[in-house]
Amino acid sequence: MYFRRKTSAGRSYLQIVESRRDGERVRQQVIATLGRYEELQASGQLERLLRSGARFAGKAMVLSAMADDRATKIANRRIGPALVFERLWEETGCRAVIEELSSARKHGFALERAVFLTVLHRLFAGGSDRAAERWREDYRIAGSDGLELHHLYRAMAWLGEELPQNEQDGRTLFAPRCIKDVVEERLFAHRRDLFTCLDLVFMDTTSLYFEGAGGQTLGRYGYSKDHRPDLRQMILAVVIDGDGRPVCSQMWPGNTADVTTLIPVIDRLSRRFSIARVCVVADRGLISAETLAELEARRMLYILGVRERSDKVVRRLVLNDPQPLAPLVIKKRGKEVDYEAKAVVLAGRRYIVCRNHQEAAKDEADRAAILAALKRQLARGDKALIGNTGYRRYLKTQAGDHFAIDPVKVEEEKKFDGVFVLRTNTDLNPLEAMLCYKQLWTVEQTFRTAKHLFATRPIFHKLDETIRGHVFASFLALVLKKALEDRIAALGRSGSWPEILADLDSLSETEIDYDGKRFVVRSAPRPAASLALSAAGVALSPTVRQAAAD
């Protein structure tokens, strides 16, 4: 039944109407006509009628009291973050693994809850552990009420704690085996039934700078990908499988060269994860002649980026191969991108030459703009061109130490337009190899997420173990993020990650005191929050419920 406002002969009447099914049709039957709407409203009878009926509808009564400020608000807590990610924390095995490993000693506090709080904070706010303690006050997170700041520090130190000497078998270069490594290995084993072997692994590295010394061994000066050479840093490597799930992470001192990092990680995958078959996909910064030789010696499959300009074999022979390239159209962010690729074999080495036509057009336009600016500069004088590397690649020296545009160099540059070259020992056809390599963007996206969305940097910790734990909390946040994205995709849906976080963060419960009783009133979920809750398989509590007695 419902109220209906009926207009007849220019007058409005308020009716109570009931819908009834008559065969296949639904008919409305008037139960009662209460009177003219304007008179009921002016006299206050309508308001008194609704209030009287509200006594028999507890939900309506409480909501009405809240709307009229007749109820006393006791507390308001946000519930969305914990509702969804607590479920994923359990289903991914994170809770069980951490509880089992931490049970070996008595910590005196809920260590697993401290880790979960830190990970949840990374997902929704990011920043330091000190910020996580303050952030927790506005959220309902089971088992976290008794946690203090020093508990969070101790939890981070536990994650990054070195294992005993007799458990250091399989340590990687410059990095001891720690508890966080055991967590990674057990999480991998937990979901190993999802596949029989790990065909593809993607690896990349980045640098994370410190606001301070950066631990006993991790903080070192080195090449900064953050463009902060004035600060000490560490090197972080992340390995992701072919489905985009984080597998493991490695942390090294900041002066560790990228070309020395790939082989230790591959050895760890073989020894500690018991992976018999793997194809490594990595970018050109991780590759050297020694690395390739080690991969060949281990009979590892690989698809690796090549430095097209500095590799003489690639520049002079591979790119000049006369074979035609096979076309391929890929949809990327809703747009079609035209690629083409071919295989070139030289002295037993297999190269894949790839071209992105959209990037080629951009490179050509950029070069045309540079040449136009160069011609204008030459007309005014060429002394300022000596130190300009962007211009220098197109210039030649003339008599009298003057410069001129070299048409031969311009033509040489054209063959690099939109081109990237791979080195592989797989038997994949050129287009398949190119597609595998293009998946490497998932690792790059992971680093962008870890650095910016989870605010892993800057790092203020001063001990190696707390630094490792701090960074590993972001790795666990990535595990949960990927788990939710996979479940949303399984529904045939997609969602904006910022919208999901914002909508979940807006979902709250307010505890109120009304008529001598306490009630909990839940807000309505926004669309992205509803999607996340459905994907995680979480049911919401009633909109209004009576609070449990203390």
pLDDT for the residue numbered 39: 86
Distance CA 129, CA 149 (A): 7
Which is it for the CA torsion 318, 320, 321, 327, positive or negative? positive
Contact 300, 266 (CB under 8 A): yes
For 161-188, write each residue's pLDDT tens digit.
Answer: 999 998 888 787 788 999 999 999 999 9
Residues 6+ apart with CB under 8 A from 47: none
Contact 484, 478 (CB under 8 A): no
Residues 6+ apart with CB under 8 A from 242: 198, 199, 200, 201, 202, 439
pLDDT for the residue numbered 196: 45
Integer-rounded Cα radius of gyration of the chain: 32
Query: Around Cβ 63, how many Cβ atoms within 10 Å?
Result: 17
Contact 473, 160 (CB under 8 A): no
pLDDT for the residue numbered 113: 96
Question: If you search the block for the tokens 């007695």, which residue do you land on?
Answer: 549
Contact 202, 239 (CB under 8 A): yes
Q: Provide the angle, in degrees to the nearest 10, between the axes of the packed helices 94-102 and 80-91.
A: 70
Distance CA 532, CA 124 (A): 14
Residues 6+ apart with CB under 8 A from 302: 279, 280, 281, 282, 292, 295, 423, 424, 425, 426
Distance CA 326, CA 336 (A): 16
- State the alpha helices, DSSP H only, in 399-463: 407-414, 430-438, 441-448
pLDDT for the residue numbered 72: 65
For 327-354, write each residue's pLDDT tens digit.
Answer: 888 776 667 888 899 999 998 889 999 9
Query: Around Cβ 40, how many Cβ atoms within 10 Å?
Result: 18
pLDDT for the residue numbered 60: 55
184: amino acid identity, one letter: E
Chunk the chain into consecutive blocks of 10 residues (it has 550) and report each block's average pLDDT, rounded to whole numbers: 82 86 82 86 79 59 58 78 96 95 90 95 83 88 91 94 89 87 92 61 82 84 84 86 85 86 83 77 80 83 86 88 86 77 90 91 90 82 63 74 81 89 90 84 69 61 89 92 93 90 92 74 90 93 74
CA distances to 117, 430, 480 from 536, in Å: 19, 39, 11
Angle subtended at Cα 80 by Cα 75 and Cα 86, rounded to the nearest 5 degrees: 115
pLDDT for the residue numbered 344: 92
What does residue 396 show for φ and ψ, rounded to 5 degrees? Answer: -130, 155
Closest CA to 237 of 282, 190, 191: 282
Distance CA 266, CA 273 (A): 10
β pairing state of 419-424 and 25-36:
unpaired
